[in-house]
Homo-oligomer: A and B are copies of this chain.
Amino acid sequence: MKILLIGTGNVGRTLAARLMETAHEVKMITRDPESTKERPIKNVGTFKDWMDGYSGLELIAYTEISETPDIIINATNGNQSLNALEMMPAKIMEGSVLLDLSNGLDTSKGMPPSLTVCNDDSLGEQIQRAFPKTYVVKSLNTMNCEIMLDPSKVDGAHDVFMSGNKADAKSKVKSLLNSTGWKNENIIDLGDISTARGTEMLLPVWLRLWQHFGHANFNFKIVK
């Protein structure tokens, strides 16, 4: 699939690397590619050094996007997602499938953080309201980025949730997930985008589990 990936941080790079491994065409989006390429990346060198490990991976500016992809992935910090998406060309956003995996953490009240939005709203819904002509699918937001597109990182069966208003858009995201190792039986379609409230509200227990286990290599499974 042709993927536009917004977010050049750890999550974005982890997903880009795995998408390249699983034979997708990936363009990463940033404000200023030249400046991003010079950014230091721990244990690697620069962003450009990191990119050089993935032949064919592109890094382009928001203004350089010319082609509608199969899926746009929002891998930005949830607190910045709306701002980042506003920089996308309107004609690219319209009619596109947007896989949103963001979480909004509020660290102003200490650690562990609380959520910036929850209970009667969600980031997924906020993005859907801001871009009513885009098909927002919330998914992958309930696990560490290493697992998102590589479920084999955790031993045994575990689940991924999906929320979105448009069935076709969810099917497209499902195909992407399948291509990275997710089995249909482990993809739970909860319903419309308002169900993202439920999955975004998993983050507080996820954070406590992370503290408890001392690592992030775990995921939720619904046993029935």
Q: A-side interface residues toward B, CB under 8 Å?
A: 109, 114-115, 118-120, 154-158, 161, 188-191, 195, 197-199, 201-202, 204-209, 211-213, 215, 217-224
Contact = CB atoms under 8 A, between A and B. Distances in A.
A197 to B, nearest CB: 5
Given A190-B209, A212-B188, A212-B190, A119 B221 contact: no
Which of A157, A201, A212, A220 is packed against the most chain B CB atoms within 10 Å?
A201
A74 to B, nearest CB: 20
A201 B191 contact: no
Nearest to A109: B120
A120 B155 CA distance: 33
Contact of A201 (B190, B205, B219, B223): B205
B223 A156 contact: yes
